[in-house]
Structure 1
């Protein structure tokens, strides 16, 4: 999964357009993007769309667990089978379980937006098998940490990548880039995220999607080297286990082969998007 696109849930006229834009996941947002006066209507529109499009690539971001709207959010969503829920401001495994107690069939993306949540990232990621992803809410986290730029988020980003991998969830997606007009900034920061181990990013506008895919596409020389390594391993018939020496003299260990296979799989996914 390379792209996720937020759409305010109080704009049902944008739901189908967001799906048609081609992200891997659309996130109907009941939280920050929706004014208080629109919360109830937004919930109704989002749940109605989900109920009518059960197999759509959609996740719904509920309001925070300590908000006045969360009980109504979860009660309404519980009627939708196999729903994906994006839970904001998660700080513990108990937060995850509190949602799953109300919506047992849900799959959870847990957003970590506080220093306490960062410290407990692995606990959150392993709270339940129904947790399918973790992510950062960088605006809230930056405020809580008292930092104003990406350097202050470096450790938290690395911690999230490590926790996600350690939990068996794979590489996480980056948080949004809030300036829709700044394409160069989106590309630059996405490339920085790729260097940290992120794969893909959430977006707030469809025009950001092509840049995200481009930025998270591995360089051609890296892909070529991975494919050549895999071809040499297959030709030698030595499998992936243990340290091996290829006929051309290269020494290869399982970690190198595993990384090459991951890059090859990612490229196939990216190439399939353009067909």
Structure 2
């Protein structure tokens, strides 16, 4: 795996057997969910089961999505899991302001020296409007992403294209803050692999990198969609070879001008290609 995780597999925290299978499913990151995937009467069990599992290091990075920070369960979630050795990051749902991130960062500083990675999910119109402010809220914040189901409901959006402005807003905010490109939100129909592929192609065009999944069968589809094609890899190799052997500005035979931005993009393409 390169420094670019492409697959993030969500799994309910109240189903330890399913969590165990997820850890061996091949995802780059497993996200144990204490929020939407867990019924209210199962919250306490999910929290304790997750804390028990993460007392030990895990074979892949494991993040935990806690409950909404403004709700009744988030404080207990953070107390239970934020300091366990097997935790690699926290995903914070429904973040609406920089102060949400700062409060969590302060609660985790004692055990992790301020280095526990935090990821903010923007799921409301207010969160999208404050995307850059959230993205720069604290050094512990390593990424932002959209929770599209909640955002769609908040905006009253009728079709998928209605979210494209919000998606681009978050991509730009992440880049402006020096964060990694955001990952796409989940594709909720686990049987619709063709639709997942098409959606990933669209997300890649918008500037996303990788995607969250809710079933292991979605993982190879996401990875294939986000890995460079053979043609893209060959073109990146051509660009870097030309840049390394020729002084000054130049153009490829097809007329493409090689500058710093083109070379940077080619390097990222090859970094992803090596993973494949």
Give the TM-score, by structure 2 length: 0.91
Deviation at 1:14, TM superposition (A): 1.4
Q: Using the alignment, how far apart are the partners of 2:28 and 2:135 within structure 1?
A: 21
Q: Does 1:93 align with 2:118?
A: no
Structure 2 runs not aligned, ≥5 long: none
Query: SS in structure 1 opposite 2:121?
Result: strand
Q: How many residue pairs are counted as aligned between the two chains?
A: 265
Match of 2:35 among 22, 31, 35: 31
Deviation at 1:151, TM superposition (A): 0.7
Match of 2:190 among 180, 190, 195: 180
Deviation at 1:232, TM superposition (A): 1.3
Residue 66 of structure 1 is matched in structure 2 by: 70
Q: Using the alignment, how far apart are the partners of 1:263 and 1:78 within structure 2?
A: 35
Residue 204 of structure 1 is matched in structure 2 by: 214
Match of 2:54 among 50, 54, 61: 50
Change (3 A) 1:247 1:8: closer
Structure 1 runs not aligned, ≥5 long: none
Q: Using the alignment, how far apart are the partners of 1:83 and 1:226 within structure 2?
A: 32
Q: Does 1:135 align with 2:145?
A: yes
Residue 16 of structure 1 is matched in structure 2 by: 20
Residue 268 of structure 2 is matched in structure 1 by: 262
Which region of structure 1 is more displaced relative to structure 2, 20-29 or 213-222?
Answer: 213-222
**Residues 2 and 24 of structure 1 are in contact (CA less than 8 Å); yes or no, is this contact kept in structure 2?**
yes
**Residues 23 and 59 of structure 2 are in contact (CA less than 8 Å); yes or no, is this contact kept in structure 1?**
no
Q: Using the alignment, how far apart are the partners of 1:197 and 1:25 within structure 2?
A: 20
Deviation at 1:246, TM superposition (A): 6.2
**Residues 96 and 122 of structure 2 are in contact (CA less than 8 Å); yes or no, is this contact kept in structure 1?**
yes
Residue 215 of structure 1 is matched in structure 2 by: 225
Residue 5 of structure 1 is matched in structure 2 by: 9
Q: Using the alignment, how far apart are the partners of 2:117 and 2:260 within structure 1?
A: 32
Change (3 A) 1:220 1:54: closer
Residue 229 of structure 1 is matched in structure 2 by: 239
CA RMSD of aligned residues (A): 1.7
Deviations along 1:239-264, one digit per CA (max 9) or x if unpaired, are: xxxx6126978642111111111111
Q: Using the alignment, how far apart are the partners of 2:37 and 2:252 within structure 1?
A: 58
Deviation at 1:52, TM superposition (A): 1.4
Deviation at 1:133, TM superposition (A): 1.0
Query: SS in structure 2 opposite 1:202?
Result: strand
Give the TM-score, by structure 1 length: 0.92
Query: SS in structure 2 opposite 1:171?
Result: coil
Q: Using the alignment, how far apart are the partners of 1:161 and 1:188 within structure 2?
A: 19
